[in-house]
Amino acid sequence: MKTNVVGKVLKVWVALLLLVGVLPVMKSYAAGTNLVTNGGFESNLASWSNWDGVTTVTFPVYEGSRAARLGTGESGAGQIIDGITPSTKYELSGAGRVSVTGETAILGVDCLDVNGVRLAGGKFELFYTTTGYAPKTLTFTTIPGTAKLQVYIYKNPNIGGYGYIDEISLTQATPDSGAGGGTKALWVWELSDLATSAARSELIQFSLSKGINMLYVNTGTNLTTNPDHYRALIAQAHANDMQVEALDGQSDWVRAENHYIPLGRLQDVIDYNAASAVNERFDGVHHDNEPYTLPDWSTNRQGLSADYLNLAAKSQQLLTGSGSSMTFSGDIPFWYDTFSITHNGVTKEMHKHVQDVMDYVTIMDYRDFAEGPDGIIQNGQNEVDYGSIIGKKVVIGVETYDVPGDPEFVTFYQEGEAYMNQELEKVDAYFAGADGYGGLAIHYYTTYKNMLP
């Protein structure tokens, strides 16, 4: 009787220790090891749970002798992988295609807790829409609480075609792999998005689910009145391998007589960092000053442009003089390559002057299509090319806000997230080999999270 009681007590203690994580049950996976079993479907659907409608075929295949086929109706299959660690980078890759234009095949992964329950904000997906095989890869960070991953293939009924997936791989990323070596940034304008613990957690989880690794967070006067909101957000972002830059700006600040305002705000950021712990500090300062919205832009473009560049130079000088390691960057429209100005005795395109003085720039490349005349790629080409020459990065930004008064083609608001992702994949693939390409940015958090799927 006594032995049975001791045994029961030990079992209870072990269960409690497991519950609180003192004795975690985790496997040790070497970086580069494929965690997916039978990812090429050479053993048909062995190790996969067929939810419905999935078979294997010998044609068409990407590699080997077999591939998975989904369709024609709603169909999918999944595989659960144990021993996963939270806040860890993993890389998901695979090749996919569809039988007819208009279909979409999906390769995705869900973060699960220790009981196998899906965690909110823990979904990451690749979309395949071409009628020829396309290999794709995404890097993601497991969200807090992740103990398992569910890799899945899926297709909605759509238009009655087939989807094909082959050569699936899930690996723990090596420390220097990053998010494909590039940035995926998100503008965060609303102060309410960091005012509470719940709001901050929602922002971080959403960002993780979308592969965001950089936040441009609006500061304004709120930084001095509520610094703890920023400390909590930045600490949480840094714990999830995301950088945070202090976002601020106003068009009339570029006028020489108003420079004291943005420089004072910049000093506030410097002072904030000095008073904060290392993990609570901003990584950079990001200004959104748009002189072309001022009423005298058409008659005073040279003067306002020069004032803008002088403000940028003063900002860099203030950061350098303070000993700060923060980067200084800003938003520019894609059409700054269509006119030249003279500054400090040098005449050249406006975008080149800006790129010279800033550490990097983010282009407001607001179009809802990647390719062709006036597309995202064409509109960002000159800036990326110049960035490659001077050794600086260019981040390409797109819009999700239904901008009042602007034509529909400036935003992805009407088309939805899936279409936007397809176009951004084209941009990413096109510029992948360019030294001046720094990645992508989405404007902005509030409208992005409310986009149609």
The CATH number of the domain where 250 resides is what?
3.20.20.80
The answer to the question of residue 265 being in a domain is: yes
- When pLDDT is averaged across residues 22-37 and rounded to a whole number, the result is 60
**How far apart are alpha carbons 327 and 350 in whole angstroms?**
21
Average pLDDT over residues 348-377: 96
Same domain, 262 and 356: yes
Strand locations in 340-446 (E): 340-343, 346-349, 360-364, 393-399, 437-443
Mark whether 271 and 380 lie in a shared domain: yes
Residue with tokens 């064409």: 378
Q: How far is CA 409 from CA 151, 166, 367, 370, in A?
A: 35, 35, 6, 11
Please indicate, yes or no, if residue 16 is contained in any of the structural domains.
Answer: no
The pair of structure tokens assigned to 119 is: 């965690």
Residue 32 — pLDDT band, cuts 50, 70, 90?
low
Q: In whole angstroms, give the CA distance from residue 94 to residue 295.
A: 51
| Per-residue confidence (pLDDT) for residue 103, from 0 to 100 | 92
Question: Residue 412 falls within a domain, yes or no?
Answer: yes
189 C-beta neighbours (distance < 10 Å), count: 18
Residues 191 and 300 reside in one and the same domain: yes
What are 212-256's pLDDT values in tens digits?
Answer: 999 999 999 999 999 999 999 999 999 998 999 999 999 999 999
- Final residue belonging to a domain, choices 172, 193, 222: 172
Confidence check: pLDDT of 136 > 90: no
Cα separation, 168 vs 85, whole angstroms: 20
Q: Which of 334, 366, 218, 185 is nearest to 285 (CA)?
A: 218
pLDDT for residue 31: 53
| pLDDT tens profile 97-112 | 999 998 999 999 999 9
Instruction: Give every CB contact of residue 28 below 8 A, 6+ residues apart in sequence.
Output: 83
Q: Which sign does the torsion angle of CA 251, 237, 171, 75 carry?
A: negative
Specify whether 112 is located in the same domain as 140.
Answer: yes
168 and 258 within one domain = no
Nearest to 358 by CA among 317, 399, 305, 303: 317
Residue 82 lies in a domain: yes
| Axis crossing angle, helix 260-274 with helix 301-322, rounded to the nearest 10 | 20
pLDDT number for residue 10: 34
* Tens-place pLDDT, residues 279-295: 999 999 999 999 999 99
**pLDDT over threshold 50, residue 15:** no
Q: DSSP assignment, residue 335?
A: G
CATH number at residue 123: 2.60.120.260
Which of 172-176, 237-241, 325-329, 422-426 has the lowest average pLDDT?
172-176
**Domain shared by 207 and 113, yes or no:** no
Which structural domain, as residue segments, surrounds residue 103? 49-172
All residues at 6 or more sequence positions from 160 whose CB lies less than 8 Å from its CB, including other chains: 71, 72, 73
Q: What pLDDT band is residue 376 in, cutting at 50, 70 and 90? A: very high
> What are the E-state strand segments in 234-326?
243-248, 284-287
State the average pLDDT over residues 290-302. 97
Residue that terminates a domain, selected from 141, 172, 203 = 172
Task: Please check whether residue 421 lies inside any domain of the structure.
Answer: yes
No. of H helices and E strands in the chain?
10, 20
pLDDT band at residue 21, thresholds of 50, 70 and 90? very low
Q: Which contiguous run of DSSP H or E holds residue 136?
A: strand 134-141
Question: Are residues 200 and 273 located together in one domain of the fold?
Answer: yes
Cβ burial 93-131 (10 Å sphere, 16+ → b, else e): bbbbbbbeeebbbbbbbbbbeeeeeebebbbbbbbbbee
Domain count, the chain: 2
Domain assignment of residue 364, yes or no = yes
What pTM was computed for the model? 0.64
Residue 82 to residues 24, 150, 210: CA-CA distances in angstroms?
A: 12, 9, 23
Domain end marker among 172, 202, 229:
172
Q: Residue type at 176?
A: D
Same domain (yes/no): 188, 121: no
Residue found by looking up tokens 């003192």 in the block:
22
180, pLDDT greater than 50 = no
User: 272 and 189 in one domain?
Assistant: yes
**Average pLDDT of the chain, as a whole number:** 89
pLDDT greater than 80 at residue 19: no
Q: What does each C-alpha distance from 68 to 74, 102, 378 come to in angstroms?
A: 14, 19, 36
Using the predicted structure, report yes or no on whether residue 181 has a pLDDT greater than 80. no
pLDDT top residue among 432 and 19: 432
- Same domain? For 281 and 320 the reply is yes
The confidence score (pLDDT) of residue 23 equals 33
Report how far Cα 82 is from the mean position of its chain's Cα atoms: 26
- 308 half-sphere exposure, CB direction, 13 A CA radius: 32
Supply the pLDDT for residue 325. 86
Q: Is residue 143 part of a domain?
A: yes
Q: Are residues 236 and 117 in the same domain?
A: no
Distance, in Å, from the CA atom of 49 to the CA atom of 416, rounded to the nearest integer, reads 30
Contact partners, residue 389, CB within 8 Å, separation at least 6: 436
Residue for token pair 């096109």: 430
Query: Do 102 and 189 have their domain in common?
Result: no
Q: Is 30 inside a domain boundary?
A: no
Contact 258, 314 (CB under 8 A): no
The predicted model gives 174-183 an average pLDDT of 47
Pair of tokens at residue 107: 């390769």
